[in-house]
């Protein structure tokens, strides 16, 4: 089992769209995943369970992965949780191209 921490950096926290990206990645993994924060813990079996954790900017989450190639997949999840999602993409001046 591999365990790592990530800090939520997305300005809007983990709302529906970033949660969907993380959930989709988790569904492709053949092992067990648990996400924990001060707000509680959840598996990634449900996108709504992830949203219910109310992961706001600055929240630290602990990611536990147990299964095949768990170190690599745990690092992938850290990157997804720490990603700054921008829907729709914007340029450096904050304007949608």
Catalytic residue list: 15
User: Is 92 exposed, middle or buried (CB count within 10 Å of its CB: 0-12, 13-18, 19+)?
Assistant: exposed
Structure tokens given for 37: 């924060």
Structure tokens given for 70: 């768990």
The residue whose two tokens read 């988790």 is: 26
Q: Kindly give the pairing relationship between strand 60-66 and strand 32-37.
A: antiparallel
């Amino acid at each position: 089992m591999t365990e790592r921490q990530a800090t939520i950096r997305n300005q809007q926290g983990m709302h529906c769209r970033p949660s969907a990206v993380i959930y989709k990645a988790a569904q492709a993994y053949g092992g067990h995943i648990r996400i924990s924060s001060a707000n509680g813990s959840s598996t990634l079996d449900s996108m709504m369970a992830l949203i219910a954790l109310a992961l706001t900017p600055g929240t630290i989450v602990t990611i536990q992965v147990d299964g095949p190639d768990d170190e690599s997949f745990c690092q992938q999840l850290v990157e997804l949780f720490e990603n700054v999602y921008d829907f729709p993409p914007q340029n450096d001046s904050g304007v949608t191209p």
